[in-house]
Amino acid sequence: MPSARHPGGRLDFAYDAAGRENERSIGERHNLAGAWDAEHRLTGQILRSEQSVLQRRDYTYRADGALTGVEDQLLSSRFERPHGNKSACARRY
């Protein structure tokens, strides 16, 4: 597992068989995990502390790969791009 040192401690990285980062450990107390689909698109991230989930985000895409939505647990909201159009956005709470 590759790692790096920084002023706040140590970062460790883990990768899946396709070479995508799927886990990042931040010191011994925090972990950021990511999930990917078969098209190599990020579908979700979870930030955990030792005892709880601190943040979760889920991403949705159109068949052509355009990002259409982000659901954010911390903000209790969902950002949507109904047609994957950069100029058309909606935020739901």
For the segment 19-42, what is each residue's pLDDT rounded down to a tens digit?
Answer: 999 999 988 889 999 999 999 999
- C-alpha torsion angle, residues 45, 47, 51, 52 (rounded to 10): -70
Quote the DSSP letter at residue 38: T
pTM of the model: 0.73
- The answer on pLDDT for 74 being more than 50 is yes
pLDDT grade, residue 66 (50/70/90)? confident
Tell me the residue range of the domain where 52 lies.
3-92
CATH of the domain at 7: 2.40.128
Residue 24: CB partners within 8 Å, gap ≥ 6?
A: 11, 12, 13, 14, 31, 32, 33
Q: Please give the tally of structural domains in the chain.
A: 1
